[in-house]
Every structure is written in structure tokens, then in C-alpha cells.
Amino acid sequence: MTAGLFSCTTKAQSGASFSSLPVKEFKQAQSASKGLLLDVRTPDECAEGIIEGATMLDYSAPGFMDGIKKLDKDGPIYIYCASGGRSRQTMTRMKGLGFTKVWDLDGGMSAWLEAGQSTVRAGNASKR
């Protein structure tokens, strides 16, 4: 049991954090940190609505990883997609690239909408 506690402490001390957060925690953490909110869905999916303040970066686009590599590796990044699969994969890839603070929305946009959270038109967001 002590080893488990030590392991968690070491991870926290290193400053690296990667996890999936439920809607309420995701929203609170992103609001508190003012980190980058990244929507990795397709343009067609984004046209249905995005989380306010999100930057769109299409996971299926040829330049997706080039766009990821241009992001601040030490800044907080909050990722979401439609249901959580692409955002989790993106988080894993970012960890491999040396990013240190990445969280994804557990359940993606589906969970966000199910929790009664609002969206805005995609035209109000920036694209990378």
C-alpha cells in the first residue's frame, strides 16, 4: 500500500498528469486553469456544435499530428471528441511526445450533452 502511495506522489511531483475526467470535473478543471480546449472531431461533427472556447483540430486530417506538435507541451490541454475514443488516443500520443498536462472528456460530446451542458456554433471557434 505504501508503494502505491509513493507512486502517486512521484507522479504528482513530476508535474505530469494524464487522465479522463467526467463532465463536471472536466468543465471545472478547464475553467479554473484556462488551458487549451481542443475538439478533435471532424468538421461535420463540429458543425453540430462545440464546447464554447474550443479550438478545432480534425483527428482525421493529414496534418493532425503536425498541429499537435505545435501546441505548448507544458500547458494544460483538455481534449474531447464525440464519445471519447479519439481524445483518449490523442492523449496517449501526446504523452509519448512529451506533453505533461493532458486530460480528456470521458464520454466525449455525447456525455457533455447528456449532462445538459451547452454548446455553441462551430463558427465561433478557432481552427488549427
The single residue of 21, 56, 77, 81 carrying the catalytic annotation is: 81
Burial class (CB in 10 A: 0-12, 13-18, 19+), 6: exposed
**Whether 8 is catalytic:** no
- CB within 8 A of 58, min separation 6: which ones? 40, 41, 42, 43, 64
β-partners of residue 58 are none
Active site residues: 81
